[in-house]
Structure 1
């Protein structure tokens, strides 16, 4: 994300937030469940800009649950535009993106920001960079689909997501059981 003058990228879950408080985080994108209380850990952080989005980590509609929607991804892209606009005069920065566990919504959000910042970088390269940042990344497929459309990637992000899932299953077979138990068989079927 050099185009945004962000030198450090971090993805984590809520339990990891206290351990990042001394890392000079300048920007935070929080993706939380709608009924989740505010995160107290940010009180120990220095001055930073923070945007919070609230929706559930699901890929199919469910009663009393809020699906990721195109508007949520548009807000992520708006956050990215804000990073770009504020880059003037900023020599460095530390972007932290988190969700509940730092595996699905946050990794989808970070991949979206990376694809926005580097529109000419290949999709497989973007996912490889994502794995370097967060080895356990399993991006929410609904969010990636909306990002693919809004960024004009013409299905290439979604196709690369399937290859990423296949990589993750080969590297960490527990994902097959875990995603099956979470009702995310459709994502497992995307793995090619």
Structure 2
């Protein structure tokens, strides 16, 4: 069996391998000074003199729903700092200096370790994408292939700009909440708490001067604006099973894709907003959405944590819907100084923008 790790091309001494690479002979041959272990394993009785190496262990399984994304900054910063050193450990002053070399390994050197290595490359080299970084690794390790869940996490990391403060990123927080929702829905329930998007920090948006507002047809109360709408493309054919799935938590909240008009599409899907709180905190799996205007209280939509199908054929799960027949759509020209997105926010965090409206007519 070949126990040698694979060295990445370039100036940095970066290696990737499996647990079989952890032999004194292999480590000494490749001048390894730092080891990143990406697996659950007890190394206490492993036949290596650990005093010779600096060691970081990330205990994760190779499954798609494992959270490696939250470890990318920890491992990236550790590898960066390791490669800046000279490979000398504490107490080695008398030994000849040598360049640091980092081995990133998991069980097989195929998925977890490759994911961590890709994340490091994305962090250090902004011109790379997850797929181009993977292609580089596959040149020296052809069977390298992170599982689909890890690739999705790398893509999200890339889209966020490989932030150093990942815990504070709205997209990361939304992704964590998505995991809770998916687990609850899979077990026939609903999450223990509801993330109301208009109360959360939002991603910076590119304003084009136009924004869509959906209003109650009865009282004209604004219900939702563009940043909180969930785009979905009508499917060409309606079938009896979910043939097209939209996951609200993974749909970008910062923009509304232009979707083709479809006569049979009767829903506006949106993220949970604070005006829904009285209904959603009842703990029901499904129910009605009423206009938050206390003098109106007209039914404007419905929700279902287990999902619902739009009349155009798209299945959305979980689903929060405004019925087009009970709402009007307005296009506005907006100069925004705050981040309210047209939603009524608590005093003190409202924007001071001005709005010019152009009625598009009832739907």
Alpha-carbon distance in 1 for matches of 2:123, 2:52: 25
Rate the CA distance shift 1:88–1:9 in 2: closer, same or farther, 3 A: closer
Structure 1 position 20 matched with structure 2 position 20: no
Q: Secondary structure at the match of 1:129?
A: helix
**Equivalent residues of 2:130, 2:158 under 8 A apart:** no
- Give 1:70's aligned residue: 69
1:133 counterpart (129, 136, 140): 140
Distance between the aligned counterparts of 1:69 and 1:128, measured in 2?
A: 20
Across the aligned residues of Structure 1 and Structure 2, the Cα RMSD in angstroms comes to 3.0
Query: 1:10-37 CA distances to partner (integer Å, 9 max, x unpaired)?
Result: 211112321522221022111112xx21
Structure 1 contact 29–52 (Cα < 8 Å) conserved: yes
- C-alpha deviation, 1:99, in angstroms: 0.4
Q: Does 1:92 align with 2:99?
A: yes
Q: Distance in 2 between matches of 1:114 and 1:50?
A: 20
Structure 2 distance, partners of 1:122, 1:72, is 18
1-structure distance, mates of 2:85, 2:21:
30
Q: CA deviation at 1:147?
A: 3.2
Instruction: Answer yes or no: is the 8 Å Cα contact 1:21–1:46 preserved in 2.
Output: no
Distance 1:116 1:124 in 2: 14
Q: Quick one: distance in 2 between partners of 1:131 and 1:14?
A: 18
Aligned to 2:43: 38
Report if aligned partners of 1:30, 1:50 keep a CA contact under 8 Å in 2. Answer: yes
Query: How far apart, in 1, do the equivalents of 2:140 and 2:100 lie?
Result: 16
TM score, norm. by length of structure 1:
0.60
Give ranges in structure 1 of 5+ residues lacking alignment. Answer: 61-66, 155-192
> Aligned equivalents of 1:2 and 1:132: distance in 2?
9
**Alignment partners' CA distance in 2, 1:92 and 1:9:** 11
Residue 42 (structure 1) shift = 3.5
Greater relative contact order: 1 or 2 (C-alpha under 8 angstroms, separation 6 or more)? 1
More strand by share: 2
Alpha-carbon offset, residue 124 of structure 1: 4.2
Answer whether contact 2:37 2:57 (CA < 8 A) is retained: yes
Report the CA distance between 1:122 and its aligned residue.
Answer: 4.8
Pairing 1:152–2:159 present: yes
Cα distance between partner residues in 1 of 2:74 and 2:128: 22
Alignment of 1:121 onto 2:121: no
The answer to whether the 8 A contact 2:114-2:146 is kept is yes
Task: Give the whole-Å Cα distance in 2 for the aligned partners of 1:92 and 1:32.
Answer: 26
> How many residues get paired?
141
Q: Give the drift of 1:105.
A: 0.3
Q: Which runs of 5+ in 2 are unaligned?
A: 1-7, 88-97, 162-363
Structure with higher Rg: it is 2
2:119 matched residue in structure 1: 112
In the superposition, relative to structure 1, how do residues 96 and 89 fare at CA in structure 2: closer, same or farther (>3 Å)? closer
**Normalized per residue, which structure has more helix?**
1
Q: CA offsets, 1:108-129, max 9 Å, x none?
A: 1111111212112355432221
